[in-house]
A and B are shown apart, each in its own frame.
Chain A
């Protein structure tokens, strides 16, 4: 990496990190796993003058169920998500998504918090968070605040994390009942950003009707997006093939993909439709096996 010169700090407390962010102003960037930031620095698309490495701060890496929430520390690495027993048992969507994120070397460093805080619609976890109805805990020198995922992404590389703040925790309503989730993205080769990706979560009531649903889409909009019309069609329905097809159709209509080397708009909408259908069916079959 032949980046521009930068200064490097590695504070050991969150307070210290936040103080440094305030001290250095806009020229400072948080270094978590570094797998989005460092490639940008290598290409000199980003040239922060101060890197604040938060890897030495204890207490930011964990996966636990507490107060009806699945709580994931922002510095939890992808590989830790992949290997977590809680996640393997109940939140299959993470197993699907993490194994599609880059390669093992990246997953050994890349963090869940970093993946979200980067604010890139091409990343995979934003869609997962939409599907699961997550909230994000952000810490600043005024203390903690919690932002629903629907209000988190503000634009290209822009999120609700303001200057002087650090994303610290991801909170997901805990799985209960017949709950299933799934993620898939079409990619040109391993490690690629999604041509299109779909995250789905369903909960099925005793009467077979959908009691909870979430669908998030990857890389088919300028910011990560929720397929709201699809969710409305599914919620309370009997999850029949016709309803699933309708939901998939809505998702393909409501996304806003742009043409690039991965495909044109038509192909991406087609993929959204096919993958939405497949992920809903997979989530439903997982839900039926759960609870």
Chain B
């Protein structure tokens, strides 16, 4: 049970308060970008390329412009006149807004149709005739690295190959020495496939430029409104749109998961057209456009190796990555981290040597590399280390739970310096795994597995004990386009003791309106119901870098606590003034200051706040407001121990997740119900790449599953009844000891599932299966081992 310091009425940390935002969502009263309607608004649809790589010979808009209601057809040549046909990516690469001569991936934007009506815009799009000269695309990232491979980005000055960047970390020589002399080495090539966030709301915007005021209001689906405002100012400053003339409003967001961090060409085109016409322009993607053109996630080809002793002690790991970034590096990583935080891949284990390297490459696939519910490439890293740990355990013949227990970093070893340079703040990995094993009944299940095997039945048990790294991040290392990754909170308490607080982050379903209110309630004792939370309007909220990478609680949540503490200090001074005692004589309990030894002499926070406006001490500033910009001293390191049980149909190869136990340690918990909800959602998005999702392209560059008919997003039917629990190891450096939780389950679940499936069929000769593990894939693997005999 979580101990709460505040009463239920105050509703501070640890209370399972119902979500304040849900009243409007469950009544269909949310306000999303597509709900925005402005007078004179025009609608935009986008012509997209059917080819992965082609020259554009001509674009003929005659027929489209003949359709009543079609106002304009905008091409790259039109934008070129204003130098708006290119834009930078968040990784300082470049990306076409609209092409002037070449398309680089299927579904790339080719032209925009502007019309008086959404339906007419679509009709216009169908009527635009584009003459292409198709070229042979480069789809295989390994082939793209060949010296003879055609250069895809001659637009980049001096570019003579398709290599984007090289990255490495760790001690290469020391690691090699250990590998050369190790008893046991396991090695596996694995692909973490290209997937898509597929949030329920697609991307879109309403760009509303006011010619008279020279002012742009941009309603858009963004997880980082402030950063976007700065980016727009950097891109469009040369046409007179400077930052004070730009207001970005991110209304309710229907899921982001990293896919709403980047700037997509559609946004820029809408702004350009609004700028030129003075009319508000609405652009809302349809599902296929979202899936086919917006930023992908993952797509890492990893060669992973682990070295250890024959009795099961891990000694070193070595990962080599080829990162397929598609047409441009449009990741959303902190600037100094091209592979994100992949270097967390030494995992939860105590060993001294690791070396990791990565190379990124251009191909004719859509750009991206977003952190899909994952703190920058941590999912890829965790998959590699957790698969290798299992393979190592199988190789040395040790139970994978036992092997993990023997290799974990011990509780007393924290803060722990990882061989790739991290300082893990805290953790208790043994306790987490023990709780998971007790919850699932591990030993009994192992016995059952042996019994079932005798009957020819296939059952597997898989474990993942991962360490996450979130809360980017400390200003000394973390920035995006040079802007440090702090985040902010501003609290204003009104004379009657009710408050409004504003943040630089942006909830997309995480429940910030509830959890931030609870943090402030915890610190100030004002009931959380009386604290209004606002985010997403750059004119009103303090600057911040937004919500992704599980950073909101570690950064903005901390900022809320720090701002509230400033106010509590002020409250103490006012209370001392009101009760005519010295500050040293006062003690705080949630909601009031009282005189030590005389608890009947007290002032409530509400009385104190009222006095701040009516009767504050001489020389003190009036009012009761505070702002804090929180620069975290370190990242936070949530962890988890997950155990998955699968049953495999030995004839059809259907895979059923029988049970899934998830023990998370996200430090102190703000709202247990919201944490549980986050874990449920994250686990479902973990089962997705493990068993269902992958964006598949053929050699000609066509996407083969560009709709929800074939891109298989799991539903409640595919989800087992999740069993969740937690251990609590507070982050020692964080004001409220919280670590962040949104992404742990997405990161930790896939290897637990795959380890379970491999465990079910390992005795049949299978050491590894690539995700997503589908029944078809498993059938082929088993058939190759002769499991079905010669005749299927």
A is bound by B: yes
User: Is A189 a contact partner of B712 (Cβ separation < 8 A)?
Assistant: yes
Q: Does A242 contact B (CB under 8 A)?
A: no
Given A2-B118, A44-B126, A274-B652, CB of A269 within 8 Å of CB of B718: no
User: Is A270 a contact partner of B788 (Cβ separation < 8 A)?
Assistant: yes
One of B205-213, B496-504, B673-681, B774-782 contacting the partner: B774-782
Consensus secondary structure, chain A interface:
loop
> Whose C-beta in chain A lies nearest to the C-beta of B772?
A188
When distances are taken between beta carbons in the complex, the residues of chain A under 8 Å from B406 are none
User: Is B776 a contact partner of A2 (Cβ separation < 8 A)?
Assistant: no
Q: Which of B119, B286, B692, B788 contacts A189 (CB 8 A)?
A: B692
> Whose C-beta in chain A lies nearest to the C-beta of B287?
A42
When distances are taken between beta carbons in the complex, the residues of chain A under 8 Å from B718 are 189-190
Q: Does A16 contact B (CB under 8 A)?
A: no
Given A2-B286, A261-B705, A274-B651, CB of A189 within 8 Å of CB of B717: yes
Residues 192-233 of chain A, each 1 if its beta carbon lies under 8 Å from chain B, else 0: 110100000000000000000000000000000000000000
Q: Does A263 contact B (CB under 8 A)?
A: yes
Q: Does B715 contact A (CB under 8 A)?
A: yes
User: Is B712 a contact partner of A192 (Cβ separation < 8 A)?
Assistant: yes
Interface residues of A in 1-56 (CB under 8 A from B): 2, 4-5, 43-44
Assembly CA distance A195 to B779 (angstroms): 13
Q: Does A118 contact B (CB under 8 A)?
A: no
Assembly CA distance A262 to B774 (angstroms): 9
User: Is A2 a contact partner of B705 (Cβ separation < 8 A)?
Assistant: no
> Whose C-beta in chain B lies nearest to the C-beta of A266?
B792
When distances are taken between beta carbons in the complex, the residues of chain B under 8 Å from A188 are 692, 712, 774-775
User: Is B776 a contact partner of A263 (Cβ separation < 8 A)?
Assistant: yes
When distances are taken between beta carbons in the complex, the residues of chain B under 8 Å from A269 are 792
Q: Does A138 contact B (CB under 8 A)?
A: no
When distances are taken between beta carbons in the complex, the residues of chain B under 8 Å from A195 are 776
Assembly CA distance A271 to B718 (angstroms): 20
19 A-B pairs besides A188-B774, A263-B779 with CB distance below 8 A are: A4-B126, A5-B119, A5-B123, A43-B288, A43-B707, A44-B126, A186-B775, A188-B712, A188-B775, A189-B714, A190-B718, A195-B776, A261-B705, A261-B710, A266-B783, A267-B776, A267-B779, A270-B788, A274-B651
When distances are taken between beta carbons in the complex, the residues of chain A under 8 Å from B774 are 188
Given A188-B712, A190-B715, CB of A262 within 8 Å of CB of B119: no
Given A267-B780, A271-B652, CB of A190 within 8 Å of CB of B792: no
User: What total of chain A residues lie within 8 Å of the partner, measured CB to CB?
Assistant: 26
Residues 699-737 of chain B, each 1 if its beta carbon lies under 8 Å from chain A, else 0: 000001101011010110110000000000000000000
Residues 176-190 of chain A, each 1 if its beta carbon lies under 8 Å from chain B, else 0: 000000000010111
Q: Does B122 contact A (CB under 8 A)?
A: yes
Assembly CA distance A205 to B60 (angstroms): 71
When distances are taken between beta carbons in the complex, the residues of chain A under 8 Å from B788 are 270
Assembly CA distance A190 to B68 (angstroms): 42
How far is the CB of A43 from the nearest CB of chain B, in Å?
8
> Whose C-beta in chain B lies nearest to the C-beta of A262?
B776
Residue of B692, B704, B707, B710 contacting most chain A CB atoms (<10 Å): B710
Consensus secondary structure, chain B interface:
loop
When distances are taken between beta carbons in the complex, the residues of chain A under 8 Å from B704 are 261
Residue of A4, A189, A266 contacting most chain B CB atoms (<10 Å): A189
Interface residues of B in 743-792 (CB under 8 A from A): 774-776, 779-780, 783, 788, 792
How far is the CB of B505 from the nearest CB of chain A, in Å?
33
Interface residues of B, Cβ cutoff 8 Å to A: 118-119, 122-123, 126, 286, 288, 651-652, 654, 692, 696, 704-705, 707, 709-710, 712, 714-715, 717-718, 774-776, 779-780, 783, 788, 792
How far is the CB of A185 from the nearest CB of chain B, in Å?
11
User: Is A4 a contact partner of B123 (Cβ separation < 8 A)?
Assistant: yes
Assembly CA distance A230 to B382 (angstroms): 50
Interface residues of A, Cβ cutoff 8 Å to B: 2, 4-5, 43-44, 103, 186, 188-193, 195, 261-264, 266-267, 269-271, 273-275
> Whose C-beta in chain B lies nearest to the C-beta of A188?
B712
When distances are taken between beta carbons in the complex, the residues of chain A under 8 Å from B119 are 2, 5
Assembly CA distance A192 to B654 (angstroms): 15
Query: Which 10 A-B residue pairings sit nearest by Cβ, starting from the closest?
Result: A190-B717, A270-B792, A263-B776, A274-B651, A2-B122, A189-B712, A267-B779, A267-B776, A266-B792, A188-B712
How far is the CB of A153 from the nearest CB of chain B, in Å?
22
Assembly CA distance A263 to B776 (angstroms): 6
> Whose C-beta in chain A lies nearest to the C-beta of B712?
A189
> Whose C-beta in chain B lies nearest to the C-beta of A274?
B651
A-B contact pairs, 18 of them (CB 8 A): A2-B118, A5-B123, A186-B775, A188-B692, A188-B712, A189-B714, A189-B717, A190-B715, A190-B717, A190-B718, A192-B709, A261-B696, A261-B710, A263-B776, A266-B792, A270-B779, A270-B792, A274-B652
When distances are taken between beta carbons in the complex, the residues of chain A under 8 Å from B651 are 274
When distances are taken between beta carbons in the complex, the residues of chain A under 8 Å from B792 are 266-267, 269-270, 273
When distances are taken between beta carbons in the complex, the residues of chain B under 8 Å from A264 are 776, 780
When distances are taken between beta carbons in the complex, the residues of chain B under 8 Å from A263 are 776, 779
User: Is B126 a contact partner of A186 (Cβ separation < 8 A)?
Assistant: no
> Whose C-beta in chain A lies nearest to the C-beta of B121?
A2
When distances are taken between beta carbons in the complex, the residues of chain A under 8 Å from B286 are 2
Assembly CA distance A273 to B789 (angstroms): 14
Given A266-B792, A270-B779, CB of A186 within 8 Å of CB of B652: yes
Assembly CA distance A199 to B59 (angstroms): 51
When distances are taken between beta carbons in the complex, the residues of chain B under 8 Å from A2 are 118-119, 122, 286
When distances are taken between beta carbons in the complex, the residues of chain A under 8 Å from B717 are 189-190
How far is the CB of B770 from the nearest CB of chain A, in Å?
15
Assembly CA distance A186 to B783 (angstroms): 18
When distances are taken between beta carbons in the complex, the residues of chain A under 8 Å from B126 are 4, 44
Assembly CA distance A127 to B763 (angstroms): 38
Assembly CA distance A274 to B710 (angstroms): 24
Assembly CA distance A263 to B779 (angstroms): 10
Assembly CA distance A269 to B569 (angstroms): 74
How far is the CB of A183 from the nearest CB of chain B, in Å?
15
> Whose C-beta in chain A lies nearest to the C-beta of B713?
A189
